[in-house]
Structures are given as structure tokens and as C-alpha cells.
Chains A and B, each alone.
Chain A
Amino acid sequence: MSDKQPKSGKQKYAEVAYYPGCALEGTGHAYNRSTKALGKALGLKLKEVENWNCCGAMEVKNIDPKLQTYLSSRVMSIAANKMKMDTVMAPCNGCYHNLKKAEYELSSDEKSREVVERLSQKAGHATYQVGQVETIHALDWIKEAIGEDGLRERVKNSLQGIRIANYYGCMYTRPRHIFPEKDQGPGSESTSKPHFMDDLLEAAGAENVDFPLKTACCGGAHTLSDSDTSTRLVANILQAAEAAGAEVIATECPTCHSGLEMHQIRAESTLGLKTHVKIIYFTQLLGLALGLKPKAVGLHENVSDSFAFVKEKGLA
């Protein structure tokens, strides 16, 4: 089904270095599986970053931000210097954010450059140089390499009649200064009202609801260390999605996704709040629309059980 090459002429992202990150090997495995399956179905090549390491996540940043910059720079250095790639695609918002942040810090802060230089030398690999790679999110990847028109042509099972709230979380758009390509007018992503996921799902036939909490916080940083706060924040998101008429919350971050799933369950016991909205990765939804089987997009790996739902909607 996928021997067609992207028609758009946007060959730039037809082959990218793929940085799954730690979460996609653990709790976010469904996102990993569906991203790879989607790439294969669309004829896009993913070359996994060789021997990658953790980007530093929020946690190492809290210990020392420059250490997080180093860890992220090592990933970009391998992609650029060992693999000779010019684009790194990271589906995880945390990884994506951190690589972008490292790029920003290295281009603007002399001390960060010094620390990265020193650690890279001692660790025995080439020091990453600003501009060697472009880091993109899985949303940029599909949007640029395939585009809405390309998707429309390939849809086998339209998502028609499925009402979706698109949830982007924090790390995809904030803070604005680490995403210089956003807010650049028509065609670019917006940091206040992101729409790339909306655009792609709409092209696959879905009906996007007017969801006010697209970039609200799920409390993912404190999912376990301050669960009550996270549960309240997630409860807001779930309730707002249902109030907007959504049957599905589409996600594009493993931390948000598992946070929503965990605290949907926890909200039942601690707040007595039962919500029915399904939580599904956008890559899973697009994969189903392209005719992939639910298991091929890892629907069985989600906690939020949407098998019956996708069957009912004619997607399986």
C-alpha cells in the first residue's frame, strides 16, 4: 500500500534520524510502534540514532540544565557526525523540547558551549556544533513529508464521524524562544493555538472539536511525586474535552498520554469523576485511517481501552 512516493515534492523529511527516547521504549511503546508503522505505511524512512542516550528529560535539567544540554547534544552529534544525517525526528515532546532547547542554549550561551565541549571531549565523541541538525517533531515530519493532501489520497478508513480534542501539552510550544520556526505566519505552527495535529487528523476525516485546553498542563512532571495536583489538572482536561463533545483525546507525547491514562483512572477513585473519553496517539489514529490493524499501531498497549470504540467506528 505504500509504494507510492510522497507527491508533495517535500523530500526533505523522506529519510530522517529517529530518536525514540526512553519513554518510547517503556510506557510509551504504543507511540513507538505506531510511529514506525505509520512511517512504513507512508514510505518514509526512519534511521534510529545509533547508541542514543537519554535527552536529560525534566529531571536532569532540574539537577543541572547544562548537563541536560550536553546529553541532548550528544544525540544530535551522533546523528550529524556518525550518521551524516541533517534531521532528527523525536516523537516525544520531552525529547523534542530538550533537543530544541540544547540548540537554543548552544547558540546563545557561551557557558553552555564550554560545558558541552568539555564533556564531549572527555566522553570521546565529536562536539555538536550549532546548526548541524534540525530537530523536528513527529507532527512536523508527517505534515511536511506527506502533508494534508498526501494523507487524504492515502486514507482507506476515514475517521469521519469521530470527534477529537487535540491535546498538545506544554513542551511542544513553550517557551516560544526555543522554537524560532513557530509563529512565523501562514503555514507555520502556532505556539498559542497549535494546529498541526488538527490539520492532519482533519485530513484523515476526523471532526476536531473546539478544545480550549490544547496547551494546558497535565502535571506530567509530578505525575508520581504530587499525584493529587496531576489528577486535578488531568481532570480539567478530560472534562473540558468531554464538554467540547470529544470522544477521543488525540495525544502526541508519551508523558501526557500516560499521564492522562493514569489520572483518568485515579480521578475515578480520588475525585469520584468517571470520564469516558478515549486517549489515543495521533499516530495510532492516522495509522488506523491508512488501513493498519489496531495491533499494528499498538492499540493493545494503551491503558485506555479503545478496541470496542474503533470497531464501532469501522476502523478495525
Chain B
Amino acid sequence: MPIHEKSLIRPENLAVHEHLEIEGIDVSGHWSTFIGSRVVTDYNEALEEEIAALPGGEFIHRCWQCGSCTNSCTVNALNPDFNPRYWIYLIRTGMEAELLRDKDIIWQCVSCHKCTHVCPRDVVPEGVMKATAHWLELKGHTPKSRSMIFDEVFSEQVFQTGKIEDGRVIMRFFKRSGQALLQPWLVEMARRMLRNLPLGLMTRMGLASLIKPRTSGWGDARAAIREYVDERQAHHRKALGLDASPGLDASPRLDDLVQAAKEI
């Protein structure tokens, strides 16, 4: 059975009769299960266009459903529900409701580029995954994923100073995603890291976290990047029929933090 028809055999689409007699013949058992007929009417015809308007989604129209992406996918090997080929199919056919069933895992793409490497049509499925995760967040179907929060914290620092300092990115990420910094395994890692370090080096690292590394004369680049980012974000939101941009610096919504706190 093709995967796009598997929805038909979900429990809610099956009718099972304990005792069933048809024209005097007892057909209980295997013969008593029926697939309810379904006519799809709830298409979102704009779905493909919206995904294609976001960075990474540009080439989704090239897909001919060979399945190489899913076949090569790192995350699919861990979770069979993570299925790029299927999502591309759903997006291209406008089956938004079906896509939304998987909304909480799409952001988990690890960008290993195996799909992009093997795709015979240069769809860049990895980009489509990012665009789809982005679309879900912009449309309010999912809270900002931790991955997106990380991308934003990281990018803000690059835009601001030209460089990142990984200690600061990590601290800000944990703070903004509402997680405790002192995760036991991170503490253990820090302990092992410091084990062999001479004092001089520790001092240097300590200083690096106080004195932010930065690219000098970055001001003009920063202004140009900010202007470009604002312009693109306004463009994306318009393409999705949303109000003006809340900007990259927008703090996470309160419910994101509550949600993140619950997960710990």
C-alpha cells in the first residue's frame, strides 16, 4: 500500500463489526473490517507555493517522488515516521491536515545532506525540511523549536559581532529555551575538560568569554545584514499572508517557555 493511502487504515477510518451477517452469511472475523470511504476536500492549494517562498523550499516542485531522500535519511533510520518524501508529496498535493499530523518532528532534520547528495532532481530536500519547519512556526502550528531558537541565538551573535563565541551561544541558548544550564552531563563534560587544563589556558578561556571576539569594523556589514534580513522576513510573512515581521530579536513567546520548562 502506498504510504499516502495508509491514512485509510488508521483506526478512526476503520469500521469493525463484532458480529456481521450479510445476506444470511456470517462474515465475522477478518471479513468484518471495512475501510470507510473518504473523499478529500480539505486541500490547501497554496501550500506548495508558501513552502517554496521560504528559504530552502524553492525547488520542491522538481520532486518526482523517487524516495531517495527518505531512503538515505539519517533521522528516518531512527524514526520511520520521519519521511521527507511523504511530506514533499503532501505539500505538493496540498494535504495540509495530513502534514500537520507530523508537525512536531519535522524540525528534527539534522542537515546531514544525505538527501541532497542523492536527490536526482536537485530538490534539496534538506532545505525543504527547514522551510517546512519554518512554515509550521510562522503559521503558529508549532512553538519555536529548540533548533530554531539555537539558530536565532547563534545568528544574532554573528550579525552583531561578525563572530561567535561558543560558550556564550550555549549559555544564551539554554536561557532562551528555558532549560537549566547545569545539565548533569554538561557538568560532567566540563569537569573532564578542565581535568588536564593548565591554569594559564583556563585564564585565557575565561577572558575569551568576557571579552567578546569580534570582527573589527563590522558596523557597516551589520547594518547591511540587518536591512537584508528585515526585508526578507517581511517578504516571507507576506508570502504566507501574515502581518508584518516581529523581527529576529523577538523574545520567545511565553507559552514556548512554559512548554520548554515542562519538558525538563
Q: Is the CB of A64 within 8 A of B55?
A: yes
Determine which of A174, A261, A302 lies in contact with B112 in the assembled complex, contact meaning CB atoms within 8 Å.
Answer: A174
Q: Is the CB of A53 within 8 A of B215?
A: yes
| Chain A residues within 8 Å of B184, by CB | 269
B59 to chain A, nearest CB (A): 11
Q: Is the CB of A56 within 8 A of B158?
A: yes
Determine which of B152, B185, B215, B221 lies in contact with A262 in the assembled complex, contact meaning CB atoms within 8 Å.
Answer: B185
A27 to B186 CA separation, bound complex (whole angstroms): 13
Residue of B nearest to A52 (CB): B215
A71 to B229 CA separation, bound complex (whole angstroms): 13
Q: Is the CB of A217 within 8 A of B74?
A: yes
Q: Is the CB of B166 within 8 A of A26?
A: yes
> Is A126 at the interface (CB under 8 A from chain B)?
no
Give the tally of cross-chain contacts (CB within 8 A): 176
A229 to B108 CA separation, bound complex (whole angstroms): 8
Given the known interface contacts A222-B147, A225-B177, the answer about A67 and B229 at a Cβ–Cβ threshold of 8 Å is yes
Number of interface residues of A (CB under 8 A): 63
Q: Is the CB of B197 within 8 A of A63?
A: no
A216 to B148 CA separation, bound complex (whole angstroms): 23
Residue of B nearest to A304 (CB): B192
Given the known interface contacts A226-B108, A269-B185, A300-B198, the answer about A59 and B154 at a Cβ–Cβ threshold of 8 Å is yes
Q: Is the CB of B117 within 8 A of A26?
A: no
Interface residues of A (CB under 8 A from B): 22-23, 25-27, 51-54, 56-60, 62-67, 70-71, 74, 115, 118-119, 122-124, 170-171, 173-177, 191, 216-217, 219-222, 224-226, 229-230, 232-233, 261-262, 265-266, 269-270, 299-303, 305, 307
Interface residues of B (CB under 8 A from A): 55-56, 74-75, 78, 108, 110-114, 116-117, 122, 127, 130, 145-152, 154-155, 158, 162-167, 170, 173-174, 177, 184-186, 188-189, 192-193, 195-198, 201, 208, 213, 215-218, 220-221, 223-225, 227-229, 232, 248
